[in-house]
């Protein structure tokens, strides 16, 4: 009997201790409990779906979509990469992959992928693939019905492996076959650098992935040998990459021991400071940095650090505003997660992050932090700069809006098709700096557009239609009918007029498309620099030493005010 009561007492004690532990777990470590609870619920949901859902579910697809949705609710930069997608992650981090070295695009008429841009000195270009080649077969496997993503995966593979590619080239009757050996494809980090007029150096830096600091140093020293007296660094459309590479390049122009970036995260290893560790290459050469709304992440670190230390004049348009840092974490079964671990702060103490992903609107959307909620910081010299919205240039250049018709001409592949026809007739063309689209060339292009029965939406027609409907709804249409008729007559769709009116912009786009067929990315950059408003402003400030110095100093009126 005593043994029975003793066992009951022990059992009761275990229940009490268990309840106490449970209560302690819930109250003392509620976050851990919530995580464990929801993981258990998620696991149960998947099991129930797999057992009872009316159709058989694909666990890889269903769970992957759940993971992607969960991560996207945090920010667009936290991503999951299963084992089969590791090459995509490697390309992102190293700016390289195993493949043929070409951009492919979709031919809407033929419903097949085609070569859009082979990279210079890469397998696609070396074997003779040309822009416009329609991809028919890979090792005898028909590519019909496969989208660009699927074809891209077939073109990529282990470095050193080979395959046979069959293409249909415009202007040839029989398909062509090429034996291609995959190589490690390194995307151009510095596709072009040169000496401009008045001894101004120019370096186009396309990415901070891989090892661009080494190439940048070589380009800069080469330009110095050629006698440059100032330098333009073009970071437009540079989406970023490795933080260390941005620090290394900034160090070429800033003294040793300067703090360039500070990262702050939840865990200790996510918080760090990055300083210039080496002696600089040049502390005196005047610098201008070109940026636009697609300059992001590491590009903003370089531009922002040079601005905060008053070392360069920033020219162009406000940058993207990505002040978040990602690192990779290994996961089971060969998978990886790229996760946002910290925010970064440039020398003035500001963070350039423009979007607050933590505080979303009721519909789940996010918006940029309004300028009214940003904070003023100061550069080393005392100039005012702000956080919360990218890097604002010292010289803001008004962006000319591209005409609506140009979007549709590109989208319908009409400029692409004309360039393909042009190249069939012209085995060679002049150097990019001397090439131009003649009036006769443009007349041929216009004939191609008309023959294609080209149609496009005019925004004025849409807006006028909406206005007319609203006027009718509110009872104004009868009184304003004559005015509406006059407007409709003036805004009548006129293809000939639009092609002539926007000929300058369209000719430039045609020239870029043609030149890159012969001179690759380098050639297209040369063409675009011919009439570049950002570059003009940079040249203007770099050739005016007094104005340059004034721009990087605090105005005398501000100094007197005792700021």
Catalytic site positions? 297, 308, 322
Question: What DSSP state is assigned to residue 34?
Answer: H
Interatomic CA distance for residues 257 and 237, integer angstroms = 30
Q: How far is CA 181 from CA 94, 99, 124, 138, in A?
A: 21, 8, 9, 13
Do residues 122 and 64 lie in contact, with contact meaning Cβ atoms separated by under 8 Å?
Answer: no
266: nearest Cα among 324, 334, 184: 324
66: nearest Cα among 100, 36, 38, 98: 38
Interatomic CA distance for residues 405 and 408, integer angstroms = 5
Interatomic CA distance for residues 510 and 448, integer angstroms = 13
Beta strands in 134-175 (DSSP E): 134-138, 141-142, 162-168
Collapsing DSSP to helix, strand or coil, 37 comes out as: helix
Collapsing DSSP to helix, strand or coil, 279 comes out as: coil
**DSSP one-letter string for 51-106:** HHSSS---HHHHHHHHHHHHHHTT-TT-EEE-GGGHHHHHHHHHSEEEE--EEEEE
Instruction: Report the run of H or E that residue 200 belongs to, with start and end.
Output: strand 200-204
Interatomic CA distance for residues 478 and 483, integer angstroms = 10
Collapsing DSSP to helix, strand or coil, 136 comes out as: strand
Interatomic CA distance for residues 154 and 144, integer angstroms = 13
Do residues 83 and 177 lie in contact, with contact meaning Cβ atoms separated by under 8 Å?
Answer: no
């Amino acid at each position: 009997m005593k043994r029975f009561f003793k066992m009951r007492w022990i059992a009761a004690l275990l229940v009490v201790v268990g309840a106490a532990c449970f209560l302690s777990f819930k109250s003392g470590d509620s976050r851990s409990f919530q995580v464990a609870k929801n993981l258990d619920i998620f696991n149960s949901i998947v099991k129930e779906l797999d057992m009872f859902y009316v159709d058989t579910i694909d666990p890889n697809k269903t769970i992957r979509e759940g993971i992607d949705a969960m991560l996207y609710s945090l920010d667009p930069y936290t991503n999951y990469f299963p084992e089969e997608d590791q090459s995509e992650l490697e390309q992102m981090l190293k700016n390289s992959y195993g493949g043929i070295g070409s951009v492919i695009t979709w031919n809407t008429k033929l419903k097949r992928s085609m070569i859009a841009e082979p990279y210079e000195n890469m397998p696609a270009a070396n074997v003779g693939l040309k822009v416009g080649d329609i991809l028919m077969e890979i090792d005898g496997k028909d590519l019909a019905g496969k989208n660009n993503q699927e074809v891209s995966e077939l073109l990529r593979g282990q470095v050193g492996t080979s395959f046979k590619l069959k293409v249909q080239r415009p202007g040839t009757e029989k398909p062509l076959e090429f034996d291609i050996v995959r190589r490690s494809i390194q995307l151009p980090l510095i596709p072009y650098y040169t000496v401009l007029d008045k001894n101004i150096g120019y370096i186009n830096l396309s990415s901070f992935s891989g090892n661009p600091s080494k190439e940048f140093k070589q380009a800069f020293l080469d330009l110095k040998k050629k006698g440059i007296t100032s330098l333009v660094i073009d970071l437009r459309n540079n989406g970023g990459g490795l933080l260390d590479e941005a620090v290394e390049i900034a160090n070429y122009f800033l003294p040793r021991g300067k703090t360039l970036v500070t990262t702050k995260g939840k865990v200790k290893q996510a918080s760090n400071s990055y300083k210039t560790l080496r002696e600089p290459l040049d502390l005196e050469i005047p610098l201008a940095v070109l940026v636009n709304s697609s300059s992001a992440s590491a590009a903003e670190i370089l531009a922002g650090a040079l601005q905060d230390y008053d070392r360069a004049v920033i020219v162009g348009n406000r940058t993207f505003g990505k002040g978040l840092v990602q690192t990779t974490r290994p996961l089971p079964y060969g998978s990886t997660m790229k996760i946002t671990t910290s925010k970064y702060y440039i020398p003035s103490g500001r963070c350039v992050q423009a979007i607050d992903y933590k505080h979303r609107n009721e519909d789940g959307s996010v918006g940029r932090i309004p300028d009214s909620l940003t904070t003023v910081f100061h550069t080393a010299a005392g100039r005012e700069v702000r956080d919360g919205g990218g890097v604002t240039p010292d010289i803001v250049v008004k962006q000319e809006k591209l005409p609506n018709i140009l979007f549709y001409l590109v989208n319908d592949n009409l400029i692409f098709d004309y360039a393909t026809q042009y190249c069939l007739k012209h085995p060679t063309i002049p150097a990019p700096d001397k090439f131009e689209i003649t009036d006769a060339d443009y007349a041929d292009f216009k004939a191609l557009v008309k023959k294609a029965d080209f149609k496009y939406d005019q925004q004025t027609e849409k807006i006028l239609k909406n206005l007319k409907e609203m006027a009718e709804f509110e009872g104004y249409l009868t009184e304003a009918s004559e005015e509406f008729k006059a407007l409709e007559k003036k805004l009548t769709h006129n293809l000939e007029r639009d092609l002539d009116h926007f000929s300058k912009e369209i000719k430039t786009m045609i020239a870029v498309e043609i030149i890159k067929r012969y001179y690759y990315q380098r050639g297209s950059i040369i063409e675009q620099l011919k009439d570049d408003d950002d570059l003009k402003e940079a040249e203007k400030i770099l050739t005016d030493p007094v104005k340059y110095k004034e721009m990087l100093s605090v105005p005398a009126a501000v100094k007197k005010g005792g700021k």
